[in-house]
Amino acid sequence: MTRNYSNWPIILVLLLISAPIIVMYAFLLVDTVTTSPPGSAIPNGFTLSHWRFLIDPTATGDVWGPTLTTILFTASIVLIVLGVSSTAGYALSRLNMPFRRFFLGGILVMHAFPLVTLIIGVFLVLQFVGLYNTLTGVVLVKAGLMLPFGIWIMKGFYDTVPWEIEMAGVQDGASRFTVWRRLILPQVRPGLFALALFAAIDAWGEYMLPRILAPSADFEVLSIYLNTVSDPDSTTYNFNLFKSVGLFYTLPILALYAIFRDRLMNIFGGGTKG
Amino acid sequence: MRTRSYMVGLAFMSPALVVLIGFFFLPVVLTAVFAFTNMSTSTGISGGSYVVTGNLLTALKENGVPVEIADALSKASFVVDPEGIAKARDAGTDPAFLAEIEQQLGGRTFTDERLFERELKTLQHRPRSIRDLKLAVDQFELSILNSRFTSESAARQAIATFLPSAPADTVDQIVEASYTGWTWTTANFKQLFSTSDTWRIVLNTVFYVAVTLSFTVFVGLFLAVTTFYLPAGAASAFSMLWLLPRITPIVLYAVMWKWFTWEGGFLYTAADALGLPAFNYMKGSVPTAWTIVIMVNGFIGAAFAMILFSSALKAIPVQQLWASEVDGASRWQQIRYIILPHLRWPILFVTSYQTLSLLSSYQEIWLTTNGGPGRTTTVWALESFNTALNSYTGNLQYGLGAAMALILVIVGVSLSIIYLRLFRFDELLGRPKIEF
Amino acid sequence: MTVASFMKSATLAAALLASTAVLASAKDVTIKVWAGGTGPTNDYRIEAIKMAADILEREAVIRGEELNVTVEGQTWTTWDDFKQAVTLAAESNTAPNIIVSGHEDIGTWSQSGLLRPVEDYVDFDAWPLNQLYPNLIDVASFDGRVWGIPQDAESRPFFFSRSHMKAIGYTDADIEALPGKVESGEYTLYSMLDDAKKMQDAGVVEPGKGFMPRPSNGTDYWQFYQSFGGEMTDRESGKLVLDRQALTDMYQFFVDAVEKGVVPATYLGTTWDSWHDAVAHDKAGIWHGGTWHKAEWETKWGLKDFFGQMQYSLIPAGNEKGRANTITHPLVYLLSTTGTDDDATIAAELITIASEPRINALHAVKSGHLAIGTAEAEIPLYANDRWTTVATEALLPHATSLPNDPDFGVVWKAMYKGLEASWTKTSPVADAVSGVESEIKATLGDKVVIR
C-alpha cells in the first residue's frame, strides 16, 4: 500500500530527530577502539588499549568481580520476580479470594508509583530486618519494585489461557496447585520468558538502590563500578576508557535486545491494560 | 468451600503480599509517620537519649531556668573520697594505683578534669594506657554534665540526686530540653506552605512534566506514524534505535549525554567549528539545561510511547486505509481521520502513565544537571531526595524530606485513582469462572 | 558523690575489665576508616592510619604483646555521598571506627550520639598532641568537649593571574604589594571586579572568565559573607547569627559581578574540571580556591611555575563593614560509638600516632594542606616547601572557621539556596534574603539570631 508517496523525506526527518541517539551510540562504539586528537571528535587512530581493563586490573581496578556480582544480582532478581509474579498473577487472574478487587487496584496504583521517593522508609525496613548494606537487601528491594509490573503482566498472560484447560484438570481431581504447575504454567511460558528478559535488563542497569542502600558493602555492581570509573577525580580517569567499560557493561543487554527484540517489544508496551 | 478457595487464592498471593507489604506499604506508612516529625541527622532515626550539656544550660537560662540551678548543674568536680575509691576499685582500677591516690590526694577536690588527670599522671603506679587512667578519673566525678541517659526516668533521677533542691517543674523542663531525639511536629508542612521556594519548585515540576510529556507524546506519535508508513526494514531500524535509550543503563546514558553536551563534547566541538556559541549546554544556560533535561527524559519516554502507538496502529484494518486512498485522501487526511482516532486510548494511557512516572522520577536529572544551573531545573522529587538523603552540609532532614515525599505520594495516588476510573477499571475485573 | 551516673560507671567497669583482659593475650582488631572529600592527592588520610597501625603493632611486640591491627579504609570523593553513607551506617550500627570528616559535622553527630568524645581516649598533654595548634583543637571541640583530633588545616586564598594583572597595567611591584593592600582593606572585592572587567575588556581573558569563584557549594561562600561584615556566631551567647545586611551585600556582590559580565549567571554548578582547566592554564583572571589546589594543579593539570604564574592573598573585604579574611576548614579524625570500647581505644591510639608530625607532614605537603602543630612546621619536608610555609605564615593567622553548631547545616543550606536564587536571577536579592530568613525561622525558630 501507499506506494504513491516517497519515503525519503520521512526518513530524512526521522534521521534528524534521531541524530542525538545515532551520534551518541555511534561514538560510543567508535571511541572505544580509536584515539582522537584533543579538541576534535574525529578519530585519527585505531587502538585496542581502551579495552586493556579486561585483562589489566591496574587500568580501572578488577572488572570481573563486579561483573560476577552483577550477574548474581540480576539472576536473583529475575528468579524472585518470576516466582512471585507467576503465583500472584495466577491468583489475581483465576482465583477467588477476598479483596481481589482491592489487590488489583492496589497493584495498579503501585505500578505507577516508583518506590525511590520512599527510600528513607525502605532504608528503615531494611535496617530493621538487618539487610542494610547487603546484596540480599538490595535484591529484595529491587525485586519488590518490579513486582507490581510483573504481576500485572503475568495476570495479562494468564487471562489469555482458555478456561477449558483448567476445568479439565480440576475435573480430573487435581488440586489447583497441580493444575497451575502442570497445565497452566506451560501455557504462559512466553510471558515468563518476556518478563525474565525485561527484569534482567532492568536489574542489570540498576544504580540508585545499590548506591544508597549498600554504600560500603563488600560487593560492587557494574553500575557503581562504572560510576567510579567516570569520576573525573579518579586516578584512572580517561573518557575513552570509560566508554569501553560502559560498552562492556551494556553489551549483554544489547545482545539480549538484538536476539529477543520482538518479545521485548511486547512487554515494553505491556503497561497497557489487558 | 468458599473459605477453602479463599485460602488457595491467598496462598498464591502470599509471597507477593509479603514483599509488597515490606517494600511498598511499610515505607509509605513510615514516610507518613516521619512527615510529622522533626527527624534529622542530629536527632537520629531510632530515638535519642537525655544529655545535659553546657550549651543546653546556657539556652535554658534564657528560657526561665533559675541561674543558680543551671550553674550548679554545669559544675563538674572530682572528689577523692572513700566512696570514689570504692567505686574505682569495683570498676577494676589497679589497687596499687588506688592506694597511691588515696594516700597522695585523699580528701582533695578538683574542678578541672585536666588538672586532676595531670596529678594522677605523676603517680608511680599510674596505668600505662591513658584510657585506663581516664576511666579511673571518671569514678571520682561528681557531675551529670555530658552523661547520656537512655531513659527519661534515669535522667530525672540523676538530676534529682545531684540537686535535691531543684523544683520539680524546673527538673521537668531540663529533662524535656535535654532530649536529643526527634519529636512530633507539623512544622514541616507549615514550612513547605510558607516558603516561596516551594512554589518555585512546584512550577518547575509542572513545567518539567508538561513539556516532557508533550515531547514524549508528539515524538512517540511521529515515530509511530512515520514508521507505520515506512518499509518494514527501515521501520524496524528506527524502532530499534529509539529503544536504545530505554534499555541503556542509566549511569552510561547520563554520561553519554554529558559527553554530547559538555565542553569538549560533541555539540561543543561542532558548534565551535561552525562558529556558534560553544559552552557547557547542560549547565551553562537555563534554556539549554531545560532542553537537555527534557530530551534526556523524553527520549526514554518516546520509545515507550512509540511501541504502544505502533501496536495500536497494527490493529487498524488495512482495507480501511486502502479504501481511503482510493477515495483520494491525502496522507494527512488519513492520519487525521483514521489513525489519530484509533490512537485516542493509547495516547490517554501514555499521558497518564508518564505523568506519574515523571512526577516521581529524579534519577536522570540528578545524574545530569543535578537541578542546576542554580536551582533552575530542580523538581519536587529531586528536592525531596536532596532534603532527606543527599546534603552537602551533612544535616539530612528526614522529616522534611518525608513530608515532601508524602505530598508526592498523595498526588500520585489521587491521580492513579482518577486514571483507574478513566480506564474503566471494573472492566478489567472478570469474575473467576471456577467457583467451588 | 552518688551521682556520677550509675549506668556510666557500670559500662566503664565492664570496658575496663575487658581492656585489661585483652592486653594479656594476642589480639586481632579490625579498624574501619572512612574519609570523605578524599581524592588521590589526599590518600594519606587513610595511609597515615595504616602507618600508625604498623607502629602500634611494633610497639606491642616490644612490650611483649601480640597485636594485629587490620585497617580497612574507604574513601568518597564527594561529601554528600559520604555523609549519607556515614549517617545511614550509624543508624544501622555499622559506622566505621574512625571517621575523617569536616569539623562542622561534630555538632550534629555528637548530638545524635554517633561520636565518642576523643578527649576521653587520648592525652592532649602528651606527645604528639601537646604540640597541636590550640585554635585547631578549639575547632575540633563542641559544647565544652574535644571530639576530634585535627587532621589537616588549610586556608582558602584569592588568586590573581600575574600575566593578566600586568596586561591591565599592574607592575611587578604592584602585584607584590597587592596582598598587603587586600589585608588593609584598600583593595576590595569591588576593586577586584573592576580589574576582572578590565582584563576582559583588554581581551586577555575570555568574557565570563574574569572572575572564577568556586563552582559549587562550599565553605568558601561564607568568606564573602564575612567580607561584608557578616558573623556566623554571636560571641556572647554562642548562638548562630544571620546578618541580613551582610547577606544582602554578599548576594548583591555576585549579582553585580554577573551584571559586569565577569562571571555568568549560570556559573554555579559548572564542573570542577572546567574551573581547574581555566585557572591552571592561565585562562582566568582572578579566582579563589584552596591552598590544596596547588597540589592538584601541579599533579593533574600540569602547572609548572606556581609562584611565577599566580599571586595569592586573603579574600578581600567587600565594604567598610567587613574585613579581609579566609576560612580554614580542618578535617578531623573522629571516633564513632560503633564497636567496643576496646576497639575505640585502639582507634584512638591510631589517630594519635597518625598525628605524629612526620606522618602528618606527608599528608600536608602531598596535598597542599597546612601543618596541624608547631613541631610539624619544623619537619624539613614541610619547612622546605615554600607554599606550605608562606600559607602558614601569611594566611593562617587570619583564618576563622565555621561554627560546630548542629543547626548550622540548615543555615548553610538556606544561605546557598538564596545565593543560587539571586545569582541566577531567579529571584531579586531582597526576596532571596527574606526567603533565607523565613526558612531559618521556620526550621530553627529563635535558635538563630537574625540581625
- Which range, B82-86, C266-270, C281-285, is most confident? C281-285
Specify the DSSP element, H or E, that contains A72.
helix A64-94
Q: How many residues does chain C have?
A: 451
Q: What is the structure's pLDDT at C148?
A: 93
Tell whether the model's pLDDT for residue C286 goes beyond 90: yes
Distance from CA of A223 to the nearest CA of C (A): 16
Cβ atoms C139, C401 nearer than 8 A: yes
Name the least confident of A209-213, B115-119, B325-329, C128-132.
Answer: B325-329
How sure is the predictor about A1, in pLDDT bands with cuts at 50, 70 and 90? very low
Tell whether the model's pLDDT for residue B79 goes beyond 80: yes
Q: Which residues in A lie closer than 8 A to residue B240 (C-beta atoms)?
A: 257, 261
Picking from A118, A185, A257 by the largest number of B CB atoms within 10 A of its own CB, the best residue to mutate is A118
Tell whether the model's pLDDT for residue B355 goes beyond 80: yes
Q: Which residues in A lie closer than 8 A to residue C272 (C-beta atoms)?
A: 232
Instruction: Inspect the interface and report whether the beta carbons of A211 and C88 lie closer than 8 Å.
Output: no
Per the model's pLDDT, the better-predicted residue between C383 and C1 turns out to be C383
pTM of the predicted structure, to 2 decimals: 0.86
Instruction: Inspect the interface and report whether the beta carbons of B331 and A121 lie closer than 8 Å.
Output: no
What residue in C sits closest to B197 (Cα-Cα)? C435
Picking from C77, C83, C222 by the largest number of B CB atoms within 10 A of its own CB, the best residue to mutate is C83
Q: Which residues in C lie closer than 8 A to residue A120 (C-beta atoms)?
A: none
Tell whether the model's pLDDT for residue A231 goes beyond 80: no
- Bridge partners (DSSP) of residue C159 are C287, C312
CATH 3.40.190.10 domain range(s) in chain C? 24-154+329-400, 158-327+407-450
Check if the interface score ipTM surpasses 0.90: no
How sure is the predictor about C52, in pLDDT bands with cuts at 50, 70 and 90? very high
Instruction: Inspect the interface and report whether the beta carbons of B30 and A120 lie closer than 8 Å.
Output: yes
Q: What is the structure's pLDDT at C69?
A: 93
- Where helices occur in C263-407 by DSSP H, the ranges are 272-280, 293-300, 306-309, 341-354, 357-367, 374-378, 380-383, 386-390
Distance from CA of B259 to the nearest CA of A (A): 8
Q: How far apart are CA A193 and CA A52, in angstroms?
A: 35
Q: How far apart are CA A121 and CA B52, in angstroms?
A: 31
Q: What is the structure's pLDDT at C51?
A: 94
Cβ atoms C240, C446 nearer than 8 A: no
Instruction: Inspect the interface and report whether the beta carbons of C85 and A216 lie closer than 8 Å.
Output: yes
Instruction: Inspect the interface and report whether the beta carbons of C417 and B375 lie closer than 8 Å.
Output: yes
Residue C405 phi/psi, 5° resolution?
-65, 135
Average of per-residue pLDDT across C240-267: 91
Q: What is the structure's pLDDT at B342?
A: 81
Q: Which residues in A lie closer than 8 A to residue C297 (C-beta atoms)?
A: none
CA-based nearest residue to A215, from A227, A201, A229, A198? A227
Cβ atoms C183, C324 nearer than 8 A: yes
Tens of pLDDT, residues A69-128? 899 999 999 999 999 999 998 888 887 777 777 888 788 777 666 666 788 788 888 888
Which one of A132, A212, A233 has the shortest CB-CB distance to C39?
Answer: A233
Distance from CA of A235 to the nearest CA of B (A): 18
204-243 of A, contacting C, C-beta below 8 A: 211-212, 215-216, 231-235
Per the model's pLDDT, the better-predicted residue between C19 and C137 turns out to be C137
What residue in B sits closest to C106 (Cα-Cα)? B42
C89 shares contact with chain A (CB less than 8 Å)? yes
Share of chain B above pLDDT 90, in %: 9
CATH superfamily of C158-327+407-450: Periplasmic binding protein-like II (3.40.190.10)
Vertex A131, ends A126 and A135: CA angle to 5°?
Answer: 120
How sure is the predictor about C1, in pLDDT bands with cuts at 50, 70 and 90? very low
C382-391, long-range: CB within 8 Å, 24+ apart, which pairs? C386/C307, C387/C291, C387/C294, C387/C306, C387/C307, C388/C291, C388/C364, C391/C154, C391/C155, C391/C157, C391/C291, C391/C312
Tens of pLDDT, residues B7-62? 777 888 888 888 888 888 888 888 899 899 988 888 888 778 898 888 888 888 88
Per the model's pLDDT, the better-predicted residue between C433 and B353 turns out to be C433
Distance from CA of A96 to the nearest CA of B (A): 6
What number of C-beta contacts closer than 8 Å exist between B and C? 235
Q: How many residues does chain B have?
A: 436
**Domain ranges within chain B, ordered by starting residue:** 78-142, 196-428
What residue in C sits closest to A125 (Cα-Cα)? C92
C39 shares contact with chain A (CB less than 8 Å)? yes
Write the CATH number of the domain with boundaries A66-268.
1.10.3720.10
Q: Dmax of chain B from CA atoms?
A: 118
Q: What is the structure's pLDDT at A8?
A: 80
Supply B25's cell numbers.
506499604
* Residue B328: count of CB within 10 angstroms of its CB: 7
169-188 of B, contacting C, C-beta below 8 A: 180, 187
Q: How far apart are CA C92 and CA A73, in angstroms?
A: 23
Average of per-residue pLDDT across A168-172: 81
- Bridge partners (DSSP) of residue A34 are A46
Instruction: Inspect the interface and report whether the beta carbons of B390 and C84 lie closer than 8 Å.
Output: yes
DSSP letters spanning B146-213: TPEESSHHHHHHHHHHH-TTS-HHHHHHHHHHTB-S--B-SHHHHHHHH-HHHHHHHHHHHHHHHHHH
Burial class of residue C270 in the structure, from the number of CB atoms within 10 Å of its CB (0-12 exposed, 13-18 middle, 19+ buried): buried
- Residue in the block written with cell 597540589: C295
Which one of A2, A21, A23 has the shortest CB-CB distance to B266?
Answer: A23
Q: What is the structure's pLDDT at B429?
A: 54
Distance from CA of B141 to the nearest CA of C (A): 6
Rg (CA), chain C: 23
Q: How far apart are CA C430 and CA C422, in angstroms?
A: 9
Instruction: Inspect the interface and report whether the beta carbons of A88 and B428 lie closer than 8 Å.
Output: no
Distance from CA of B157 to the nearest CA of C (A): 9
Q: Which residues in B lie closer than 8 A to residue A100 (C-beta atoms)?
A: 9, 429
- Residue in the block written with cell 576548614: C329
What residue in B sits closest to A129 (Cα-Cα)? B22
Picking from A124, A208, A228, A233 by the largest number of C CB atoms within 10 A of its own CB, the best residue to mutate is A233
Q: How far apart are CA B34 and CA B38, in angstroms?
A: 8
CATH architecture assigned to C24-154+329-400: 3-Layer(aba) Sandwich (3.40)
Tell whether the model's pLDDT for residue B434 goes beyond 50: no
Q: How far apart are CA C19 and CA B51, in angstroms?
A: 26
The set of chains that have 3 or more CB pairs under 8 A with B is: A, C
Tell whether the model's pLDDT for residue C341 goes beyond 80: yes
Tens of pLDDT, residues A59-75? 677 788 889 989 999 99
The set of chains that have 3 or more CB pairs under 8 A with A is: B, C
Distance from CA of A18 to the nearest CA of B (A): 8
**Domain ranges within chain A, ordered by starting residue:** 66-268
Instruction: Inspect the interface and report whether the beta carbons of B363 and A118 lie closer than 8 Å.
Output: no
Picking from B41, B178, B202 by the largest number of C CB atoms within 10 A of its own CB, the best residue to mutate is B41
CATH architecture assigned to B196-428: Orthogonal Bundle (1.10)
Tell whether the model's pLDDT for residue C13 goes beyond 80: no
Q: Which residues of C304-316 are buried (b: 16+ CB within 10 A; e: fewer)?
A: eebeebbbbbbbb
Name the least confident of B68-82, B418-432, C338-352.
Answer: B418-432
Q: How far apart are CA C184 and CA C170, in angstroms?
A: 19
Q: Which residues in C lie closer than 8 A to residue A233 (C-beta atoms)?
A: 39-40, 77
A58 shares contact with chain C (CB less than 8 Å)? no
Tell whether the model's pLDDT for residue B233 goes beyond 70: yes
Which one of B84, B142, B374 has the shortest CB-CB distance to C269?
Answer: B374
- Bridge partners (DSSP) of residue B145 are B52
Tens of pLDDT, residues C77-93? 888 888 888 988 888 88
Cβ atoms B388, A120 nearer than 8 A: yes
Tell whether the model's pLDDT for residue C11 goes beyond 60: no
Amino acid at residue number A126: L
Distance from CA of C18 to the nearest CA of B (A): 10
Q: How far apart are CA C114 and CA C148, in angstroms?
A: 12
Tell whether the model's pLDDT for residue B101 goes beyond 80: yes
Tens of pLDDT, residues B238-259? 888 888 888 889 888 988 898 8
Amino acid at residue number A21: I
Average of per-residue pLDDT across A242-248: 86
Tell whether the model's pLDDT for residue C33 goes beyond 90: yes
Tens of pLDDT, residues B372-389? 787 888 899 998 888 888
Cβ atoms C266, B284 nearer than 8 A: yes
Amino acid at residue number A174: A
A110 shares contact with chain C (CB less than 8 Å)? no
Instruction: Inspect the interface and report whether the beta carbons of C7 and B150 lie closer than 8 Å.
Output: yes
Which one of A123, A132, A232 has the shortest CB-CB distance to C273?
Answer: A232
Q: What is the structure's pLDDT at C344?
A: 92
Tell whether the model's pLDDT for residue C16 goes beyond 60: no
CA A220 → CA A63, A100, A238, B366, distances in Å?
10, 40, 21, 21
Kindly give the pairing relationship between strand C310-313 and strand C331-336: unpaired
Q: What is the structure's pLDDT at C2?
A: 39
What number of C-beta contacts closer than 8 Å exist between A and C? 36
How sure is the predictor about B227, in pLDDT bands with cuts at 50, 70 and 90? confident
Tell whether the model's pLDDT for residue C21 goes beyond 80: no
CA-based nearest residue to A84, from A143, A167, A130? A143
Kindly give the pairing relationship between strand C98-102 and strand C27-35: parallel
Distance from CA of B289 to the nearest CA of A (A): 16
Tens of pLDDT, residues B174-206? 888 888 888 898 888 988 888 878 888 999 999
Distance from CA of C91 to the nearest CA of A (A): 8
How sure is the predictor about C25, in pLDDT bands with cuts at 50, 70 and 90? low
Instruction: Inspect the interface and report whether the beta carbons of B30 and A84 lie closer than 8 Å.
Output: no
Amino acid at residue number B202: V
- Residue in the block written with cell 608511680: B124
CA C282 to chain centroid: 26
CA C421 → CA B158, C213, C268, C350, C439, distances in Å?
49, 16, 10, 45, 14
Q: Report the mean per-residue pLDDT for chain B.
A: 84
Tell whether the model's pLDDT for residue B149 goes beyond 50: yes
Tens of pLDDT, residues C178-201? 989 998 888 999 999 999 998 999
What residue in A sits closest to B406 (Cα-Cα)? A118
Supply A34's cell numbers.
580509536
Q: What is the structure's pLDDT at A101?
A: 77
Specify the DSSP element, H or E, that contains C115.
strand C115-116
Name the least confident of A31-35, A244-248, B186-190, C102-106.
Answer: A31-35
Give the dihedral sign, CA B96/B97/B100/B105.
Answer: negative
Instruction: Inspect the interface and report whether the beta carbons of C121 and B45 lie closer than 8 Å.
Output: no
Tell whether the model's pLDDT for residue A272 goes beyond 50: no
Instruction: Inspect the interface and report whether the beta carbons of A233 and C89 lie closer than 8 Å.
Output: no
Q: Which residues in C lie closer than 8 A to residue B135 (C-beta atoms)?
A: 12, 15-16
Average of per-residue pLDDT across C407-422: 88
DSSP letters spanning B303-314: HHHHHHHHHHHT
Average of per-residue pLDDT across B362-368: 88
Q: How far apart are CA C91 and CA C79, in angstroms?
A: 18
- Which range, B72-76, B373-377, C171-175, is most confident? C171-175
Q: What is the structure's pLDDT at A143?
A: 92
CA B262 to chain centroid: 28
Q: What is the structure's pLDDT at B158?
A: 84
